[in-house]
């Protein structure tokens, strides 16, 4: 039967060619599958990426108390398996009548970075790559323009004349841009003013990191690594339990401490008393008094309308 050129491409093979065609198709298919398998080979090292239990875990706010219990137990098991330390993981809730506020005295800060390291130790941050929640800026006298800030200053002695130091961490905004942009509600503001992250819900899109005007958020670009002997076993679900690769984290006012009546690690360690922390709803608290009596205090980038719960003040 004559076939025109135009239709030849749609032709089925004559019956006699079926066997050869079958062999050829099989060969092509086998090569293709082998190539796909070879290109996916690195996935063999994908151990402990997720488990069925972790994959199906519900959103923090939808967990029943019983489910939460199981999740906390599971996290304890996992941490013990990975780090050889049995932690105590709690789901601490915000207390009624409490709104936490931070005040930092710029006149007193000497830029020693003790807060940075106390924070890392307290909150089980990755040591390699290094993740730190507090960034201390060294600024020339007189201006708050952060484009003049030096980030990696390392003199033998601080403070250096002619400079002041400004530690920046999560400002726990009343109107947080990071919460607004998160596509999956993985980060939200609690009633005590702390913006938290469900590390098991975050999809790692890093939109919040782009949205934060204070560069307060950190991403786990790889599996965090921290030495077993440095684990802080006192953990909270929304706080310092170890994070996994591919999720966000940030300062949470040491939720595992502050919701249990203690000060954040950075407050405790500060050698000059520049850091003050407390419940602003309690008129007798130190922070309430500072906000009442100091003539000037600063909210960073006030014009953003973020309304931080983190105030910088001076001894005036």
Asked if 315 touches other proteins (CB under 8 A), the answer is no
- Of 184 and 260, the one with the shorter C-beta distance to other proteins is 184
Site string for other proteins, 185-204 (x = CB under 8 A): xx--------------xxxx
Asked if 205 touches other proteins (CB under 8 A), the answer is yes
- Of 106 and 280, the one with the shorter C-beta distance to other proteins is 106
Q: Are 148 and 139 in contact (CB under 8 A)?
A: yes
Asked if 115 touches other proteins (CB under 8 A), the answer is no
Binding residues among 7-26 for other proteins as defined by CB under 8 A: 7-12
Residues in the interface with other proteins (CB under 8 A) total 71
Question: Residue 218 in 3-state DSSP?
Answer: strand
Q: Tell which one of 210, 260, 271, 302 touches other proteins (CB under 8 A).
A: 210
Tokens 């950190």 belong to 218
Question: Residue 236 in 3-state DSSP?
Answer: strand
Q: Are 216 and 310 in contact (CB under 8 A)?
A: no
Give phi and psi for 275, each to the nearest 5. Answer: -105, 125
Site string for other proteins, 117-156 (x = CB under 8 A): ------------x-----x-x-------xxxxx-x-----
Binding segment (CB under 8 A) for other proteins, from list 6-14, 84-92, 260-268, 282-290: 6-14
Q: Are 210 and 231 in contact (CB under 8 A)?
A: no
CA 93-96-99 angle, 5° bins? 90
Q: Tell which one of 83, 133, 164, 214 touches other proteins (CB under 8 A).
A: 214
Binding segment (CB under 8 A) for other proteins, from list 39-47, 69-77, 91-99, 110-118: 39-47
Site string for other proteins, 287-306 (x = CB under 8 A): --------------x--xxx
Ordered DSSP codes for 243-285: P-TT-EE---S-HHHHTTT---HHHHH-TT--EEEEETTSTTS
Q: Tell which one of 33, 49, 86, 302 touches other proteins (CB under 8 A).
A: 49
């Amino acid at each position: 039967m004559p076939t025109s050129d135009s239709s030849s491409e749609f032709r089925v093979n004559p019956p006699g060619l079926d066997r050869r065609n079958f062999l050829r198709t099989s060969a092509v298919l086998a090569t293709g599958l082998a190539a796909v398998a070879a290109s996916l080979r690195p996935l063999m090292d994908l151990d402990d990426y997720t488990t069925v239990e972790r994959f199906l875990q519900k959103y923090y706010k939808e967990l029943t108390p019983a489910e939460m219990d199981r999740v906390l137990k599971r996290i304890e098991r996992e941490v013990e398996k990975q780090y050889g330390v049995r932690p105590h993981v709690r789901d601490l809730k915000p207390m009624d009548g409490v709104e936490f506020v931070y005040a930092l005295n710029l006149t007193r800060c000497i830029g020693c970075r003790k807060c940075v390291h106390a924070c890392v130790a307290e909150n089980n941050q990755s040591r390699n790559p290094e993740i730190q929640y507090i960034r201390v800026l060294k600024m020339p006298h007189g201006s708050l323009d952060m484009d003049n800030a030096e980030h990696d200053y390392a003199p033998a002695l601080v403070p250096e004349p002619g400079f002041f130091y400004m530690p920046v961490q999560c400002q726990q905004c009343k109107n947080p841009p990071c919460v607004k942009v998160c596509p999956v509600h993985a980060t939200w503001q609690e009633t005590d003013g702390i913006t938290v992250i469900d590390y098991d819900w975050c999809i790692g899109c890093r939109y919040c990191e782009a949205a934060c005007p204070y560069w307060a958020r950190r991403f786990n670009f790889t599996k965090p690594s921290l030495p077993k002997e440095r684990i802080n076993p006192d953990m909270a679900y929304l706080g310092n339990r170890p994070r996994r690769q591919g999720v966000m984290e940030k300062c949470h006012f040491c939720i595992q401490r502050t919701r249990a009546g203690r000060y954040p690690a950075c407050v405790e360690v500060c050698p000059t008393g520049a850091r003050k922390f407390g419940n602003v709803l309690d008129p007798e608290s130190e922070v309430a008094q500072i906000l009442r009596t100091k003539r000037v205090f600063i909210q960073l980038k006030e014009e953003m309308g973020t309304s931080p719960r983190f105030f910088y003040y001076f001894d005036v």
